[in-house]
Amino acid sequence: MELKLDDLTKKFGSFTAVDHISLTMTNGVYGLLGINGAGKTTLMRMLCTLLRPTEGNIYCNGSDIFEMDGEYRRLLGYLPQEFGFYPEFTVHDYLLYIATLKGIRPAVARKRVRELISQVGLTNAAGKKMKKLSGGMKRRAGIAQAMLNDPKILILDEPTAGLDPNERIRFRNLISELSEERLILLSTHIVSDVEYIANEIWLMGEGTILHRGSLEEIIASIPENVWECSVKKDQIAAIMRNYKISNMKTEPEGATLRIISRDRPAESAKRTEASLEDVFLYYFGENAKSEAEEID
Amino acid sequence: MVRFEIKKIFSRTGNKIALLLLAALLSLTCFLTIGSVEYVDEQGESASGIGATRRLREDKNQWAGEITEGVLLKVLQKNAEINASEEYLSKDVQENNKAYAKKQGFSDIRDMLNHAFTPFREYDYYRVDSLTAEEIAKFYEQRVIVLTDWLNSDEAKDRYSEEEKNFIITKYRELQTPLYYEYADGWQAFAEYAPTIIMLTVLLLAFPIAGIFANEFQCRAESIFFSTRLGRNKAVLSKIYAGIWIITGIYWTVILLYSVVVLGILGTDGAECAIQTGLGGWKSFYNITYLQEYFLIVGGGYLGSLFILTLVMFLSARTHSTALPVTVPFILLFIPSFLSNLPVLSEALGILPDQLLQMGQTVCMFNLYQVGKTVFGAVPIIMILYPVLSCALLPLLYHIYSKTEIK
């Protein structure tokens, strides 16, 4: 399976949401990391044929996906950021309906729905109305619907948004399980989501892919060092003014700071290994920080 | 897939309420329709219902048969006898009602006589009391004379072209006489109240119908819907089929229930009588029977509902919302009545879709349309125009919805 983005551009009036992206994806998990408004959702919507590009093309195994139409969507599973459903449908009916939309024969659909309900841990909730499910259960129903047609391309837009930490870990594990022999594109602004499961990470900002590579390559891409040091309360403000702080742990007499800087920021500072979160902060600056605070 | 679409629509509480409301309004309309047929007994007391209908039918069917000169003379004579009775001459209303009770059997024929011998735009309830046997002999000719006088009057002479005037007069002359008469109050009551229940059906159906295409957006389920294999082709068709199924299923269920209840209780006698034998139909230039009028009412109602609700589907597919589309039936059904006083618009108003929903009245209107030298009444035009427009809307509806982009 190969998806090729060729000079892909999407403009909304004078605003360019996706700006001349050219990439090739094969099987594996791709983590698309970027702050809100980076163009992730627009890119994913084009990959799902929900939006037509203003310029450029998307090819699936050499064919234009918009010309392939239903044949392309046959290979596709999609969990959108805002997972909408029919509130009065039971989980079972909802999945059967989506299976019908995916063109799965009724007998096969019934079997597949049973399997997936069990796989995502919704067996006891199969007869419950969708509106009665918890946030985590809804997301699991969402991943089940995306998997109904055993898709070769799975596109997950912010799949863990709004989930509690336990659900997030469970969800990550589920995606890992599903990743064999598939192309999975996982978009998120939660760094830890992609840190553990993505084979390749894309950092997206202002409609373009700023950096791409394995976790190690991405971490190695920042030209600065990461430092940790404990400082007194009266020093915190000055350091925050002069350096990028990726983390601050407040303590009774001061704070332990994680600082991104080419030079040693303080005498007591010790160099430490950079993490993906540091990279995220380095590239997306204050915007990334406010999102991280939002998440915490 | 169609089954799921229908289930999706009727799983919503608002749509269930709309259906329950429709059922309640259907019951109310049946009640009002049946109650509209009244019988006045020998004591001058009014009653309605099954028993009253049976007695009215018995009284009227004593006059069943062709309305010949002999029958008309008999009516004249009987009317004069009752007019000379104590009850009729009394100043007591109850006594007057007793006199009326005796006239009920021939009241329809009496109405025809009143119509035939008063000017076209007038109605004199007592005209029959002064008619002579010589005048009675010209009963059927009189219908054409009254029409011709009106067409030549100041009010109408410039309103219709010569071809249009000839068209109406020819239609009047083509009416087969003598007219056959029997009790037909069931058909008349049906024709009078059917527009109410048809319009209510359209207004209430607009809610579930508008939801068919807007539902995906209201539930924010559109991204998944359009990213599925059949989401941009077969699934859109299923929505259209579901819409047509809902319109067809509910419309015909309502109409059949209404027909069975109303005609079952008020009776189907008079099906072969011309609509001109009734007070409302006397002036109509459509030479049809009550049964034919029934088919026009229910068929026209269906075609009108189909058009209006297809338009609702189209707008909801275009706007992804239900707010504007549900107002469309209100606009189409009620705005024409506000504009009816504007003579400039009278021709256009005669072929608006609301006319299809009230065929019982449409067949009594003098809306004429001339193409070259050929003149048409509004009925054949709207019966062809709106099915064609509905058919034209469906591919457009499919196109705009299947090409939807999710921004």
The DSSP bridge pattern shows strands A15-25 and A3-12 to be antiparallel
B77 part of a folded domain: yes
Which among B174, B193, B200 has a CA at the least distance from the CA of B297?
A: B193
B97 part of a folded domain: yes
Q: Which pLDDT score, from 0 to 100, does residue A159 have?
A: 81
Q: How confident is the model at residue A192 (pLDDT cuts 50, 70, 90)?
A: confident
Domain finish residue from A214, A244, A272: A214
Same domain, A188 and A57: yes
* A48-58 average pLDDT score: 94
Q: How far is B336 from chain A (nearest CA, A)?
A: 38
Q: How far is B387 from chain A (nearest CA, A)?
A: 30
Q: Which pLDDT score, from 0 to 100, does residue A287 have?
A: 54
Q: How far apart are CA B33 and CA A92, in angstroms?
A: 46
The DSSP bridge pattern shows strands A183-188 and A153-157 to be parallel
Q: Of A113-117, A239-243, A256-260, which one has max mean pLDDT?
A: A113-117
Domain finish residue from B153, B181, B209: B181
Is the link from the previous residue into B343 a cis peptide, with omega within 30 of 0?
no
CB contact under 8 Å between A93 and B233, yes or no, is: no
CB contact under 8 Å between B8 and A102, yes or no, is: no
Q: Which pLDDT score, from 0 to 100, does residue A292 have?
A: 46
Q: Which pLDDT score, from 0 to 100, does residue B154 have?
A: 86
User: Taking the alpha carbons of B124, B271, B145, B366 in that order, is the dihedral positive or negative?
Assistant: positive
First to last CA, chain A: 37
Q: Find residues 185-224 of chain A whose CB sits inside 8 Å of chain B.
A: none
Domain finish residue from A214, A236, A260: A214
Q: Find residues 5-34 of chain A whose CB sits inside 8 Å of chain B.
A: 12
Write out the two tokens for B60: 């009227």
A254 part of a folded domain: yes
B56 part of a folded domain: no
SS3 assignment, position B239? helix
Same domain, B108 and B153: yes
Q: How far is A212 from chain B (nearest CA, A)?
A: 26
Write out the two tokens for A193: 């989501």
Same domain, B189 and B161: no
H or E, element range at A257: strand A254-261
DSSP assignment string, A49-62: TSS--SEEEEEETT
Q: How many helices (H) and strands (E) does chain B have?
A: 19, 6
Q: Which pLDDT score, from 0 to 100, does residue A288 have?
A: 52
Contact B75, B113 (CB under 8 A): yes
Contact A193, A31 (CB under 8 A): yes
Same domain, A181 and A106: yes
Sheet bearing A3-12, strands edge to edge: A15-25, A3-12, A55-60, A63-64
Same domain, B13 and B77: no
H or E, element range at B194: helix B185-218
Domain finish residue from A159, A190, A214: A214
What are φ and ψ of residue A33, in 5° steps?
-115, 130
Give me the domain span that covers residue B69: 65-181
Contact A23, A209 (CB under 8 A): yes
Does A97 contact B at CB distance below 8 Å? yes
Domain finish residue from B119, B149, B181: B181
Same domain, A207 and A243: no
First to last CA, chain B: 26
A82 part of a folded domain: yes
Mutate to test the interface with A, among B2, B217, B219, B224 (most CBs of A within 10 A): B224
CB contact under 8 Å between A12 and B407, yes or no, is: yes
CB hemisphere CA count around B242 (13 angstroms): 24
Residues 6 or more apart in contact with residue B284 via CB below 8 angstroms: B275, B276, B363, B364
Which among B181, B168, B113, B106 has a CA at the least distance from the CA of B142?
A: B113
Does A59 contact B at CB distance below 8 Å? no
Q: How far apart are CA B122 and CA B135, in angstroms?
A: 18
Residue A289 has pLDDT above 80, yes or no: no
Same domain, A234 and A150: no
For residue A155, give the chain B residue with the closest CA: B227
Percent of chain A with pLDDT over 70: 96
For residue A74, give the chain B residue with the closest CA: B229
Q: Which pLDDT score, from 0 to 100, does residue B17 have?
A: 94
Q: How far apart are CA A147 and CA B51, in angstroms?
A: 66
A220 part of a folded domain: no
A35 part of a folded domain: yes
Q: How far apart are CA B215 and CA A75, in angstroms?
A: 26
Same domain, B222 and B327: yes
A219 part of a folded domain: no
Give the CATH number of the domain where residue A165 resides: 3.40.50.300
A171 part of a folded domain: yes
Residue A296 has pLDDT above 70, yes or no: no
Q: How far is A234 from chain B (nearest CA, A)?
A: 48
B261 part of a folded domain: yes
Same domain, B170 and B253: no
Does A54 contact B at CB distance below 8 Å? no
Same domain, B118 and B206: no
Q: How far apart are CA A213 and CA A33, in angstroms?
A: 12
Q: How far apart are CA B113 and CA B72, in angstroms?
A: 8
Same domain, A81 and A161: yes
Total domain count for chain B? 2
Q: How far apart are CA A232 and CA A255, in angstroms?
A: 7
**Which residues in chain B land under pLDDT 70?**
none
Same domain, B168 and B299: no
Same domain, A26 and A80: yes
Per-residue pLDDT of B228-268, as tens digits, reads: 999 999 999 999 999 999 999 999 999 999 999 999 999 99
Q: Which pLDDT score, from 0 to 100, does residue A134 have?
A: 86
A129 part of a folded domain: yes
Fill in the DSSP letter of residue B179: P
Residue A169 has pLDDT above 90, yes or no: no
Same domain, B164 and B245: no
Which among B170, B205, B165 has a CA at the least distance from the CA of B14?
A: B205
Contact B272, B183 (CB under 8 A): no
Q: Which pLDDT score, from 0 to 100, does residue A286 have?
A: 58
Which among A4, A2, A30, A3 has a CA at the least distance from the CA of A175?
A: A30
H or E, element range at A228: strand A225-232
Per-residue pLDDT of B336-374, as tens digits, reads: 878 877 777 777 888 899 999 999 989 988 888 988 889
Same domain, B378 and B289: yes
Does B402 contact A at CB distance below 8 Å? no
Fill in the DSSP letter of residue B105: G
Same domain, A277 and A204: no
Give me the domain span that covers residue A154: 3-214
Same domain, B198 and B127: no
H or E, element range at B306: helix B290-319
CB contact under 8 Å between B227 and A49, yes or no, is: yes
Q: How many residue pairs from chains A and B have C-beta atoms closer than 8 A?
A: 89
Q: How far apart are CA A8 and CA B57, in angstroms?
A: 79
Same domain, B285 and B171: no
* A256-279 average pLDDT score: 82
Total domain count for chain A? 2
Residues 6 or more apart in contact with residue A125 via CB below 8 angstroms: A91, A133, A137
Residue in the structure block whose two tokens are 């427009």: B389
Does A85 contact B at CB distance below 8 Å? yes
Write out the two tokens for B138: 């010209």
CB contacts of A86 in chain B (<8 Å) are 8, 11, 215, 219, 221
